Structure 1
Amino acid sequence: MEILENNLFEAAAEGNVNSLKKLLQEDPIILDRVIVNNFSDTPVHVAAILGHVDFVREILGRKPEFTRELNTRLSSPLHLASAKGHSEVVRVLLSANSQMCLARDRNGLTPLHLAAIKGRIDVVKELVRAKPDAALVTVDRGQSILHLCVKYYQLEALKLLVQTIGDQEFTNSKDSDGNTILHLGVADKQIETVDFLLKVSATEVNARNLSGMTPMDILIRSRKDVRDEEIEESLKRGGALGSMQNNSSVHNNRYMASPGSHMFFDQPDLSSNIPKNSWKKMFKQHENWLEKKRSALMVVASLIATMAFQVGVNPPSGVWQETSSTPDSQGNPATDFHYAGFSILAHNYPKTYERFLIANTTGFIASLSIILLLMSGLPIRSRIFMWILMVITWIAITALALTYLASIIVLTPERERQKQSILFVIGFTVLIWLGLMALLLIAHTIRLIIKIVRKLIKSLSPKRRIPGQGFTSRGSV
């Protein structure tokens, strides 16, 4: 019997209908035994994945229950044929049992999901025609089949489904995070997908996800890309707005609450897509810089700390190799006492060494402070924390520059220093550097103070109810 069953699977792999008929003549219940026995795949699975439509039709004409058989991955023959794009086999399977359109495999996917993910347009047409409800089945994290089309870059399948179903609720379905397919298309910079969706009248261009963000907000907050400008223009033509623009009917208040709710949340300023407020967008990009560059900043701080430590224990000009407190080789008493292991710079230029040591130690401590702050788990998005981190970073870099200046001065020969030209250039450069650092520090300090004052004013402003609206607001600054 085992030999006959092996022959049956060989016939399925070849799509040989004549061999199938001969095996049925030899053993009329061979198909029943295959159903009962614990095989990973049935002959219909094998024939379906290989596209042998005549073989599938012959078996289903005798045993249509083969359409319900699942392999170890819970895939039916319809799953396999759909994934491979064998539309003729799909039609035969659907004619025997269209309910298998709703069957899920181990990953929770239906045959229609697989066909859409693989871009099998003809199969998608057959499945939707046979069972339109299959398009409404959601998968992990509440994703619809449209979300899968965007996720796997299947624009043609997306177009077919949107145009075929033609339902506004279906087109604007949201996943567990509240994202529509327009949110996903914008986030992934899929220009053609965004353009298509904006042409569909059923698309809600200003739908909000659970974070309260519209597709325009997603574009502003997403990674920067050369396609941003084109997508932004398309969204604007489609009537898309940022969250702040959406709230313009509520006197541009930044504090919103759900109807009947007393819980307030601060809406982020996402109106930076307006040209007149482009400077706000620049500042927001700067605020996100530290978070994106946390690892790079850690490497820089570690490098500065390493350099400062190395220069501290091995200063310019090195250290004395021997002690001169004893007479020299000719028996003459030593006149310039020094000890082995002590700094030559400290002996020859005591005042310069003092300045050198202060600058180097400052840079070393500042770099260690940066490392400690980055590893502390403090909220790097906090303005105060970001300001402190910037100040310490500037201190570390400036201290490094001053250490370099002191080193160059003591290593420059006396005759070159007397020319004053080198010292003038170095001194002028350092002054420019210190002026730039002071300017940046003052500018960011002023920004921080302004933000703090604004928040204090908003927190102290009286709450009021807007007539005719289902939410509470606070007076805007």
Structure 2
Amino acid sequence: MAAELYDAVSKGDITKFQKLVAQDPYLVESASFACSRNVLHIATMRGQTAMVEEVLNMNPWLSRSLDSQQSSPLHIAAAQGRFEISRKLLSVAPETRWWRDCRDMNPVHIAAVNGHVEILGHLLEESLLPAMERVGRGQTVLHLCVKHGQLTTLQFLVDKLWELVEAVDEDGETLLHLAVRSTQLEILKYLVESKKIRSKPNSMGITPLQILNRSPPGTAHYSEMGRIIDTWFAPVVHYREVLPKMNDAVMVVAVLIATMAFQNAVNPPGGVWQDDASSHKAGDAVIAYTHPAIYKSLLKTNDMAFFSSLLIIFFITSGMTSKSIYALGSAIFCMLVSVTAIALSYKASVEATTPGTKLPVAGRIVAGIGLLLFLQIFYRIAISIFYYVREKRRIRRQELLLILHPYASSIVYDRLLIVHYFQVFYSRVNCP
């Protein structure tokens, strides 16, 4: 009789099914087939919608029965894309949308993995919470879509679960990491073009770009994925991620210049008079009497350096530069003013303490800037050589351009391209 029941349910023969049930009213509840499945599991697997409805009318509790893999009939319907059956099962046992099978997946996860968007929409009509549940290793339903190459379900879920787009698993890996690892070119294009996710390293400090670089060159879509990441890798970094680190650098420069300017004021070049006389008083600056014109220039430039540095310190300590790119830009402008003023102050000091010396302002400044740029370029070439030896790969043109020309791109609205590349290359050099 069990074999006849299995045959009737598989073929959707309701007449035969009702005849068998009439002979044994307990047959539906007691019948068990392979993998501990009941008649509702079998009817769902075979896609027999009418038979599912008939069984639910007889015994709706069978919709809550689990097989040996901890799968309910709703799990099977979600896996096979049986929309009408899943709708009937959900109306009888809505709580089964939360239940997890032996792989720790609920029906929402299973529908997403198999690309059944229509069933996903129905499962999430009342609540999005089942889709917020994480599976093994802390992966979200979006991670599952990427791993299994389900672009359509990923697009559907991203619009609903925007807060999960940048979620990471237990390894700190984002959707981008998984897209590169599994060579999902179309998904990578979608993630890049949608601009809904930022590139960041995983818990081991590895970025999606590094994952691609360590892949064999013969990997499918290697060159195309490299082109996509190359054109997008830096701009996705938001300025709020790098503002605190830039604040630290600017603060160090501001405090240093303020200290230099203060020291220059209390201890002017040439020293101070030690005695009182008709022409001067003890404690007066000697330069004020011997070179009054130069001393006035020294005072102006020194004051400009000191107060512009104080303004920078105010910007940073007030927290304005950590929140606004414009405040940080103002602080950087003040830093340039302060650096220029302290250079002019140095010029005036040298001219006052070294008789017969007349320093050309423009020439000294240009020479100093040229020396700094040369040292920076030399240092970045050394970094690029070290990186090449370490990573055993060719440096891409965009990376080399940003290494050799650190000021080619600075602040572009809400993006700080070059700062991000500094962080990338410095981290590669400093990593163990």
Taking structure 2 as the reference length, what is the TM-score of the superposition?
0.53
Structure 2 residue 185 is the aligned partner of structure 1 residue 175? no
Deviations 1:373-408 (A, max 9, x none): xxxxxxxxxxxxxxxxxxxxxxxxxxxxxxxxxxxx
Alpha-carbon offset, residue 48 of structure 1: 0.6
Alpha-carbon offset, residue 29 of structure 1: 2.5
Residue 251 of structure 1 aligns to a residue whose secondary structure is helix
Alpha-carbon offset, residue 108 of structure 1: 1.2
Match of 1:63 in 2: 59
Q: 4+ residue stretches of structure 1 with deviation over 4 A?
A: 213-224, 243-250, 276-283
Alpha-carbon offset, residue 246 of structure 1: 9.4
Alignment check: 8 A CA contact 2:199 2:233 kept: no
Q: 2:22 aligns with which of 12, 20, 25?
A: 25
Alpha-carbon offset, residue 189 of structure 1: 4.2
Distance 1:112 1:278 in 2: 51
Alpha-carbon offset, residue 152 of structure 1: 1.0
Deviations 1:398-428 (A, max 9, x none): xxxxxxxxxxxxxxxxxxxxxxxxxxxxxxx
Residue 185 of structure 1 aligns to a residue whose secondary structure is helix
Deviations 1:272-301 (A, max 9, x none): xx9x968855643432459xxxxxxxxxxx
Q: How does 1:66-215 map to 2 (within 5 A)?
A: 66-165=62-161, 167-168=162-163, 170-200=164-194, 203-215=196-208
Alpha-carbon offset, residue 60 of structure 1: 0.8
Distance 1:89 1:29 in 2: 24
Match of 1:232 in 2: 230
Alpha-carbon offset, residue 34 of structure 1: 3.0
Deviations 1:316-358 (A, max 9, x none): xxxxxxxxxxxxxxxxxxxxxxxxxxxxxxxxxxxxxxxxxxx
Q: 1:284 aligns with which of 387, 390, 395?
A: 387
Return the letter of the residue paired with 1:78.
L
Instruction: Count matched residues.
Output: 263
Consecutive unaligned residues of structure 2, counting only runs of 5 or more, are 251-376, 394-428
Residue 129 of structure 1 aligns to a residue whose secondary structure is coil
Return the letter of the residue paired with 1:93.
L
Distance 1:146 1:250 in 2: 37
Return the letter of the residue paired with 1:181.
L
Distance 2:183 2:249 in 1: 32
Return the letter of the residue paired with 2:86.
V
Deviations 1:248-290 (A, max 9, x none): 55439xxxxxxxxxxxxxxxxxxxxx9x968855643432459
The percentage of counterpart residues that share the same residue type is 29
Distance 1:44 1:229 in 2: 50
Distance 1:286 1:122 in 2: 51
Distance 1:233 1:249 in 2: 28
Distance 1:237 1:131 in 2: 35
1:23–1:278: structure 2 CA closer, same or farther, 3 Å change rule?
Answer: farther
1:111–1:278: structure 2 CA closer, same or farther, 3 Å change rule?
Answer: farther
1:73–1:246: structure 2 CA closer, same or farther, 3 Å change rule?
Answer: farther
Distance 2:143 2:34 in 1: 36
Distance 1:191 1:38 in 2: 40
111-120 or 184-193: which moved more? Answer: 184-193
Alpha-carbon offset, residue 150 of structure 1: 0.7
1:79–1:286: structure 2 CA closer, same or farther, 3 Å change rule?
Answer: same
Distance 2:83 2:25 in 1: 30
Return the letter of the residue paired with 2:109.
H
